Structure 1
């Protein structure tokens, strides 16, 4: 019986049909080599594969599209469920809401008009339109 040596090629000599049993010294693996066969170290092994993966890629692309659509749907549901904070409203929305409430008065200054406002402490100010002045008396 011969010993499988990883560092060298073992070629079975002899007539056709002759065999030689070899074993790996570390693992104890045994095999029969026939005439003309040889043991080649793994570092010298080269393998070439031709694999058609087009169907798999098509399936993966479809899966990716479905996953992206699901993420978009979840994002829209989360956005719809999220409560709005005060900073989410525009100034116009806030002003309209305040003007609708009781205890709030509104003065509308049309475009191209200037109105003078004098406060109780004697300080005055000019306001040019268009503008909305809200007076909160609450």
Structure 2
């Protein structure tokens, strides 16, 4: 299985506490997900993020095909980091780490995603043709929405 890595860094003009408050709420996922993906939370307990929390949602990531996705928060350290992993969805592996570090004028947020696709060589081809670029565009959209939310004040 070929594992790919996507890493992004963003500086946010807000305190660690403000960032954690925003990113630890699954409700805010929809705000930073492109509208054309039709992201919709199906089930979560309404609580702030904690290890073991399950979030299920539907979305249309490619070609308008609706998929179900189940994420579990595997680890979480308040104001420092959390990890979400796909338990059910389109990837053979999805492991997404979110780090928050204080800076002189706000917070440095780093996302590291390790992912793999099913179907061997066909999955590798799909990554080359569309998945890699789609993920980059999702994270670019997210970057812009976070800029609008925190850095345009």
Q: Is TM > 0.5 for Structure 1 vs Structure 2?
A: no
| Higher RCO structure (Cα 8 Å, ≥6 apart) | 2
TM category (shorter chain) comes to under 0.3
Please give the TM-score of this superposition, normalised by the length of structure 2: 0.19
TM-score (norm. length: structure 1): 0.21
Q: Which has the higher strand share?
A: 2
